[in-house]
Amino acid sequence: MSNPLSERILQMSTSATLAMAAKARELKSEGKDIIGLSLGEPDFNTPDFIKEAAKEAIDQNYNSYSPVDGYADLKQAIIKKFKRDNGLDYQPGQIVVSTGAKQSLANVAMAVINPGDEVILPAPYWVSYSEIVKLAEGVPVEVPTSIDTDFKMTPEQLEKAITPKTKMLWYSSPCNPSGSVYSKEELEALAVVLRKHPGIIVVSDEIYEHINFKNAHHSMAACEGMYDRTVTVNGVSKAFAMTGWRIGYIGAPEYIAKACNKIQGQITSGANCIAQRATIAALEAPVSNIKYMIDKFHERRDLVLKLLGEIPGMNLNVPEGAFYVFPDISYYFGKTIKGKTINNATDFSLLLLEEALVATVTGEAFGNPNCIRISYAASEAELQEAIKRIKEVLS
């Protein structure tokens, strides 16, 4: 019998981040002492003031379908957040709340991309971008960057990548996986190019906004001429340690928001009602409420950079945000370690899993074959032990 599955699904790759996390869990359940640094997930609990809001919502009998695009008062909280943190003015019709930023991204892809449309992805990019674009029958156009430009795309590179088929540009800042943050000047310089091509719609994924060690976050939508064609994606998973609550949202031109609302109306009927109520508490609270987590990530970043810096062949940028390091490990290509020849980043990541019992993610999943991603959303003790093991294997 020929394969009964659709071409669409047969051509889709499994999420490398989630696959590695599953593999690490499986090895752990077999009794192996695996340290999981593969998943981008805060190791904190959701703050109590958010949990309390969820408990209250249950007691207040929030149990019905919410409006498809989110509760009106949640949208107001999002509007205030965009104003407070990003200087952006949105109306309720421009906001859509979804089941995680992942769904926000999928909605936007479905709403905007026609078959064959090109979507520029500065690489490294977050693992799901290319698969979501392909699911919408778009064509991902990778623009490779390297550690020399702090893994950021230059305006010249953007200009060169644009063709008559370019429909969108997608990027994250702070970036998953490189931790790089585009400065206001760098965004303005990209906007200069984009202003020459008014048909290009931008997805600015700002889910790591608050995990920024220089406290200098800037939104593409705030750049001159960009508001009317930028979709600002955000969510509560990362900064509020709420990955499992599954709430993301967009601020977008109204016609895009409307289209996303229509998609959700047919596919999910909207996000979980209790999680939406909890998100109001999260967004209305001062950002200082979550500073203890950001400070910890900052300390861990410094620790990880110091410890990895002691290992030869680990070429590191200094990430200004998110909770990942993305070392260029191409120095090891062609070398044989523990009887295993390292030909690429995937071999290297597997070596670390099998010989150091440390789970990381190959850079190939993020469009960069020279690097691996290490998440430092883990305890100091785990990070120290993991890097000690990596050092031993590599020496």
Q: Which residues bind ligand PMP (CB under 6 A)?
A: 40, 100-102, 126, 172, 176, 205, 207, 235, 237, 243, 248
Give whichever of 44 and 333 is closer to ligand GLU, judged by the CB atom. Answer: 44
Nearer to ligand PMP by C-beta: 330 or 360?
360
Nearer to ligand PMP among residue 372 and residue 394 (C-beta): 372
207 or 250: CB nearest ligand PMP: 207
Write the burial class of residue 374 (CB in 10 Å: 0-12 exposed, 13-18 middle, 19+ buried): buried
- 118-123/340-341 β-pairing: unpaired
Residue 319 binds what, of ligand GLU, ligand PMP, none (CB under 5 to 8 Å, by partner type)? none
Distance linking the first and last C-alpha atoms of the chain:
50
Show the site string, 32-71: x = touches ligand GLU by CB under 6 A, - = not: -------xxx------------------------------
Select from ligand GLU, ligand PMP, none the partner in contact with residue 47, using the beta carbon and a kind-dependent cut-off of 5 to 8 Å. none
Which residue is nearest to ligand GLU, using beta carbons? 40
What sections of the chain are H helices per DSSP?
7-10, 16-29, 48-59, 72-86, 101-112, 127-135, 155-161, 184-195, 254-267, 273-284, 291-309, 345-355, 380-394
What single letter denotes the amino acid at residue 182? Y
Q: Which does 39 bind (CB under 5 to 8 A by kind): ligand GLU, ligand PMP, none?
A: ligand GLU
Binding to ligand GLU in span 204-233, by CB under 6 A: none
What is the length of the chain?
395
Alpha-carbon span 337 to 316, nearest angstrom: 21
Report in angstroms how near the CB of residue 100 gets to ligand PMP at its nearest: 3
Pick from 67, 42, 104, 50: nearest CA to 280: 50
Q: Report the DSSP beta bridge partners of residue 235.
A: 248
Q: Which of 66, 99, 176, 212 binds ligand GLU (CB under 6 A)?
A: 176
Identify the bridge partners of residue 234 per DSSP, sorted by sequence position: 249
Question: How many other β-carbons are positioned within 10 Å of the β-carbon of residue 336?
Answer: 9
Give me the 117-136 binding string for ligand GLU, x by CB under 6 A, dash otherwise.
----------xx--------
- Looking at residue 366, the DSSP 8-state letter turns out to be G
* Shortest distance, position 128 Cβ to ligand GLU, whole Å: 6
Looking at the Cβ atoms of 217 and 342, the one nearer to ligand PMP is 217
Give the residue nearest to ligand PMP (CB). Answer: 100
Amino acid letter for position 223: C
Distances (CA, A) of 150 to 73, 208, 307, 313, 353: 39, 17, 20, 17, 27
Interface with ligand GLU: number of residues (CB under 6 A): 9
Q: Cα(327)–Cα(349) distance, rounded to whole angstroms?
A: 12
What's the closest the beta carbon of residue 40 comes to ligand GLU, in angstroms?
3
| Contacting positions for ligand GLU (CB under 6 A) | 15, 17-18, 39-41, 127-128, 176
